């Protein structure tokens, strides 16, 4: 059984995209003056431009860069602008429309597939599948798992209202303390429609009652979850882990990927290489600038964490740990997902490798690489056209207007230039 591809194929006829420099997502050398032919929702040709076919609609992309649709493997689309107090007073419809704005902003940024790792119910995924709203193809964890008082537990010490917004319609927090809790919660998430299971093997930033250095789920609970799933590649387990101990617990428990990983020892990095564990470093969130009102002590703490975290990711990349792009969007602003590409280059990837991390590696992590992640015949036509060259100016990929066109399963979602012949 393959991983879920929650978009209904739609017929759009034949289209030729010609003239662009093609970066296909595999890491292969770019192809100048390329052609990509699409029939309905699938790619039928990708390579050098061929002789014109008079009966096929042609889109001239000369002077542009053509890439696969990007995959953001770590987003929180339920985290929308506005105070917690304001959001608790919303009607469910207000919350749904606020999320829909972030879905649209994510697609406009060039992300055609996203993995939401806490906060969305499958209703949003289903609405995108039906075509009711525009958004990235979604894989959902629904809720993350931690012990009572851990990163997934929003309750304040006095038992008062949650520390952050828990609006009507949001999933129940995944608080588990025993093996029985773990089994019941994981099975309930799978019944609800989870595409992945997210665990917390360390504490987190912003939690009301724990710190990043605190322990999360123990190794035996992580292993229990991977055993429940039976090694199914279409239901991967990923772990929020900020500390080396948290990462090691998760890797030994059998997770497919690590989210963050800002304090890795060389021994744990070697273990990740040995096990094939993917790192999703979310550097956009780690490296974000604090507001001017932040006290100097907090600014210094943040600077220390940034230096340590970037060094950790650099050493992991140098050692050969596989990397997939993830931003923690929601903490990091929505719609600025491709800022992560430049941070991955800062951490040691080449621009071509960073693009691969944001396309084919992300699709592999989600179990979608048979259909997505690269521009190759037979795959779904998820395409992104950029006005800037990521091989020489990758930091500009996040600028407004740099993404000129977005195609998802053959359907044009963004066309800023309207250059169809």
Q: How many CB atoms lie within 10 A of CB 105?
A: 18
Cross-strand pairs, 194: none
**Burial zone of 89 (CB within 10 Å; 0-12 exposed, 13-18 middle, 19+ buried):** exposed
Structure confidence at residue 10 (pLDDT) = 60
Structure confidence at residue 13 (pLDDT) = 86
Whether residue 272 contacts residue 359, with contact meaning beta carbons closer than 8 Å, is answered with: no
DSSP string covering 344-410: HHHTT--HHHHHHHTTHHHHHHTT-TTTSSS--TTSB--EEEESS-HHHHGGGGGSTT-EEEEEETT
Instruction: Show pLDDT as tens, one digit a residue, over the chain (421 residues).
Output: 457 776 655 657 899 999 999 999 999 999 999 999 999 999 999 999 998 777 889 999 999 999 999 999 999 999 999 888 888 889 999 999 999 999 999 999 999 999 999 999 999 999 999 999 999 999 999 999 999 999 998 888 888 777 666 777 788 889 999 999 999 999 999 999 999 999 999 998 878 888 889 999 999 999 999 999 985 557 999 999 999 999 999 999 999 999 999 999 999 999 999 999 999 999 999 999 888 888 898 899 889 999 999 999 999 999 999 999 999 999 999 999 999 999 999 999 999 999 999 999 999 999 999 999 999 999 999 999 999 999 999 999 999 999 999 999 999 999 988 744 4
Structure confidence at residue 160 (pLDDT) = 79
- Rounded Cα distance between 87 and 83, Å, is 6
Structure confidence at residue 156 (pLDDT) = 84
In 112-218, alpha helices (H): 122-130, 179-192
- Rounded Cα distance between 124 and 107, Å, is 14
Name which of 107, 34, 142 is nearest 409 in CA terms.
Answer: 107
State whether residue 55 is helix, strand or coil: coil
Domains in the chain, start-ordered, CATH in brackets? Answer: 14-68+376-415 (2.30.40.10), 70-337 (3.20.20.140)
Residues 6+ apart with CB under 8 A from 128: 6, 7, 103, 134, 135, 136, 137, 138
Structure confidence at residue 421 (pLDDT) = 41
Structure confidence at residue 205 (pLDDT) = 86
Cross-strand pairs, 200: 240
Structure confidence at residue 379 (pLDDT) = 98
Structure confidence at residue 63 (pLDDT) = 96
């Amino acid at each position: 059984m393959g991983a879920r591809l929650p978009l209904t194929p739609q017929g759009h006829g034949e289209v030729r995209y010609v003239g662009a420099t093609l970066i296909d997502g595999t890491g292969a050398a770019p192809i100048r003056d390329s052609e990509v032919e699409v029939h309905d929702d699938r790619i039928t040709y990708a390579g050098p431009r061929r002789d014109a076919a008079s009966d096929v609609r042609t889109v001239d992309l000369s002077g542009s860069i053509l890439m696969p649709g990007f995959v953001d493997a770590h987003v929180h689309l339920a985290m929308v602008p506005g105070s917690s107090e304001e959001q608790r007073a919303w009607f469910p419809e207000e919350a749904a429309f606020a999320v829909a704005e972030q879905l649209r902003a994510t697609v406009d940024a060039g992300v055609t597939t996203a993995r939401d790792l806490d906060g969305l119910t499958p209703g949003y995924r289903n609405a995108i599948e039906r075509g009711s709203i525009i958004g990235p193809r979604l894989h959902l964890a629904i809720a993350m798992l931690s012990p009572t008082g851990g990163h997934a537990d929003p309750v304040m010490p006095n038992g008062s209202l949650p520390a952050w917004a828990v609006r009507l319609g949001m999933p129940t927090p995944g608080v588990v303390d025993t093996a029985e809790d773990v089994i019941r919660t994981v099975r309930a998430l799978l019944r609800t429609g989870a595409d992945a299971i997210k665990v917390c093997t360390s504490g987190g930033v912003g939690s009301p009652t724990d710190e990043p250095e605190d322990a999360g789920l123990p190794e035996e609970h992580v292993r229990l979850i991977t055993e429940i799933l039976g090694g199914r590649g279409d239901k991967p387990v990923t772990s929020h882990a900020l500390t080396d101990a948290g990462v090691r617990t998760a890797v030994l428990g059998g997770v497919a990927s690590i989210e963050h990983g800002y304090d890795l020892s060389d021994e744990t990095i070697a273990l990740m290489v040995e096990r094939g564990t993917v790192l999703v470093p979310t550097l956009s969130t780690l490296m974000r600038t604090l507001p001017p009102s932040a006290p100097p002590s907090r600014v210094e703490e943040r600077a220390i964490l940034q230096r340590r975290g970037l060094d950790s990711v650099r050493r992991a990349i140098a050692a050969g740990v596989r990397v997939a792009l993830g931003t923690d969007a929601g903490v990091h602003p929505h719609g600025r997902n491709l800022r992560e590409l430049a941070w991955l280059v800062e951490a040691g990837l080449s621009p071509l490798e960073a693009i691969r991390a944001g396309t084919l590696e992300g699709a592999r992590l989600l179990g979608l690489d048979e259909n997505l992640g690269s521009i190759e015949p037979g795959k779904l036509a998820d395409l992104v056209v950029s006005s800037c060259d990521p091989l020489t100016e990758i930091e500009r990929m996040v600028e407004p207007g740099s993404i000129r066109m977005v195609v998802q399963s053959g359907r044009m979602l963004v066309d800023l230039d309207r250059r169809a012949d």
